[in-house]
Chains A and B, each alone.
Chain A
Amino acid sequence: MMLASVFVLVVMLVLLCSSLWIGFALLGTGLMSLEWFRDVPIQRILAQDVWSRLNADELVTLPLFVLMGDILFFSKLSESLFRGIAPWVQRLPGGLLHVNVIGCTIFAAVSGSSAATTATVGRMTLRELLKRGYDKDMAMGSLAGAGTIGLMIPPSIPMIVYGVLADVSILDLFIAGVVPGLIIAAMFIGWIICQALWQPSVQPREKEVYTWAQKIESLKDLLPVGLLILSVIGSMYSGLASVTEAAAVGVAGALGISLAQGLMSWKNMGRALLSTVRTCSMIGLILLGALFLAKVMTMLAIPGETGAWVKSLNLSPYMLIFTLLVVYLILGTALDGLSAMVMTLPVVFPLVLASGFDPVWFGIFLIITIELSNVSPPVGFNLFIIQQMTGESQTRVAKSSLPYCILMLVLIVVMTVWPGLITWLPQLLKA
């Protein structure tokens, strides 16, 4: 059966490299493997698998959270976040640069996408920071890095995809992402403070002075997003609503905010819905491919076999994770992170389980690798967004975000050495 493993790997690589769409490449690999190694009605198996996968209850959260993000795109949240956070961070070393990190962290709690987080927060902060004389590289780098927090703090689209693929509780993943998300935000803030102390020129000398009354007044701007976070995350964590129901509440809340701000017209609603359909169709196709391939691999007994093979190599768990990290970093230079995760998971997941890693922990590990790929040239989506906003070269944007990539790598090391950092909160809430 070693032949089957090699066959799957070679066919998948050939189809992917041939520029076939990833979803079709995965479906094609599964179909060819079945045709070659099993005498079964492939068409029937394919249809049954696609139907049962598309009907999975946990998938319902996907269009809802995507729609929530698309609706929020037509709101004034970026302005509100800036006005609400700026008075509180003005006196910190690094000043308003912290708005990028804190704004992204807050927006991450209502958005499942790193790109949407970067675009929404950045369209206000970049302009304001540059106008006030902040260092351009610091402004771009902190935004590129902080935008990735959108994937870590729930809701998170890649977490939903991972949960469906690996059959892991999406709620557990959502809970597990909070601590590392806050840690990475704290690390980014720490880095900005160190940089501002070491190199004071990164921020203007003159600082706006806010009275306490103005500071308290500014909190009013954070109220809508605060209520949305409370209703979505609060209802999930408290057990008042399931993840799916919380997503529906989130859509209603996002719509409420956009309507209250007078920015939601029928036209914008139509645009948001069509955008959601496009995104979901894209994710849907690659999900179907990956799930079908995973099923075929199980039918061919590949996971058990590769697990035994990895065990025979006597790789330490750390070595395996290090190898995977290198593989994902390399893949991240050619592929977007979500695709890299989906196409490798059927092969990688059994190996990781065989090495004794917790599936929730591994999910968070993968999310950080996706975050890294979002700020890795040439296909890092956050880089592309900031490049579009500033007109700077991708190399300059990538260089400016390098310290934040290193901090993410530090987080991976920390969570590998102390896996409890990720798993304790889900276990605590379960207990």
Chain B
Amino acid sequence: MKFLRQSCEWIDRFNFLGACVAAAACALLSVILLVEVLGASVLAWSQPWAVEYASYLCAFVLLSGSGYALRHGAHIRVAVVLAHLPTRLARALDVLCTLCALYISGLLTVGLIEQAWRSHVRLTVSYFVMQTPMWIPQAMVALGAFMLWLALLARLVRLIIHDAPDLADDREVGQGAAE
């Protein structure tokens, strides 16, 4: 039991690290685009790599914090049924949902890893000026999907050993709301 809990905590730390890197990517994304705006409008000096790398960073931001978001209960689900079931049944349904999500994210992770590998083998490069080897950003996104898979695995373990699967969202009211 202790080993399982420790493993889950390591997964949490790994996902927190992923979220921190995604946060840094988000900050870098803002800086790159700001430099592009200022450079292009004031100095007529456009960066050929800005648009390309901005899209890779965005892809990383959107996926790499997913495991961290899952741990904090930020992903949305229609929890009406879950909320009205007796505790045991609700836990069983939650396990089933987590298993299902684990399978889907597993498919996604393997698919993305294979895609990055194919790009590596075929020496595929981007169609932008920089001709970036595609396997690099694709591997970053695959890593994001893998982190989500790991977070789901930790969630499954926590449900099975009767630990709380999600942490409370510690954001202040209204901060970060999508709506």
Contacts and interface: CB of A to CB of B under 8 A. Distances in A.
A22 B78 contact: yes
A276 B176 contact: yes
Nearest to B54: A60
A388 B173 CA distance: 8
Contacts of A278: 19, 65, 68-69, 72, 74, 169, 171, 176
Contacts of A54: 58-59, 62-63, 141
B81 A60 contact: no
B61 A277 contact: yes
A21 B101 contact: yes
Q: Which of A66, A245, A338, A385 has the most CB of B within 10 A?
A: A245
B115 A51 contact: yes
Nearest to A380: B179
Contacts of A18: 81, 93, 96-97, 100
A17 B80 CA distance: 8
Given A113-B178, A280-B65, A50 B112 contact: yes
Contacts of B68: 274, 277-278, 281
Interface in B62-82: 62-66, 68-69, 72, 74-82
A28 interface: yes
Contacts of B56: 55
Interface string A219-250: 00000000000000000000011001101110
Contacts of A120: 174
Interface string A268-304: 0011111111111111111100000000000000000
Given A23-B75, A270-B23, A116 B175 contact: yes
A277 B29 contact: no
A245 B82 CA distance: 42
Given A19-B82, A43-B111, A157-B179, A281 B100 contact: no
B69 A63 contact: no
A278 B63 CA distance: 10
B141 A285 contact: no
A119 interface: yes
A57 B55 CA distance: 6
Given A240-B41, A281-B65, A285-B66, A276 B114 contact: no
Interface string A13-35: 00111111111100110010000
B177 interface: yes
A276 B55 CA distance: 17
Contacts of A274: 19-20, 23, 65, 68
A115 interface: yes
Interface in B110-136: 110-112, 114-115
Given A17-B78, A278-B68, A116 B30 contact: no
A336 B179 CA distance: 8
A300 B64 CA distance: 31
A54 B110 CA distance: 17
Contacts of A114: 177, 179
Nearest to A43: B111
A275 B171 contact: yes
Nearest to B36: A245
A10 interface: no
B100 to A, nearest CB: 6
Contacts of B65: 274, 277-278, 280-281
A21 B97 contact: yes
Q: Which of B55, B114, B169 has the most CB of A within 10 A?
A: B55
Given A252-B34, A278-B69, A19 B58 contact: no
Contacts of B115: 44, 47-48, 51
Given A51-B138, A64-B29, A16 B174 contact: no
Closest 9 CB pairs of A and B: A119-B174, A47-B111, A115-B177, A284-B62, A248-B33, A277-B65, A275-B176, A54-B59, A273-B23
Given A119-B173, A252-B30, A274-B65, 10 more contacts: A19-B82, A19-B93, A43-B110, A47-B114, A70-B176, A274-B23, A277-B23, A284-B62, A334-B78, A339-B78
16 contacts: A19-B93, A19-B94, A50-B141, A115-B179, A116-B174, A247-B33, A277-B64, A278-B171, A279-B176, A279-B177, A280-B62, A282-B76, A284-B66, A285-B69, A337-B179, A339-B78
Interface of B: 19-20, 22-24, 26-27, 29-30, 33-34, 36-37, 41, 51, 54-56, 58-59, 61-66, 68-69, 72, 74-82, 93-94, 96-97, 100-101, 104-105, 107-108, 110-112, 114-115, 138, 141, 145, 169, 171-179
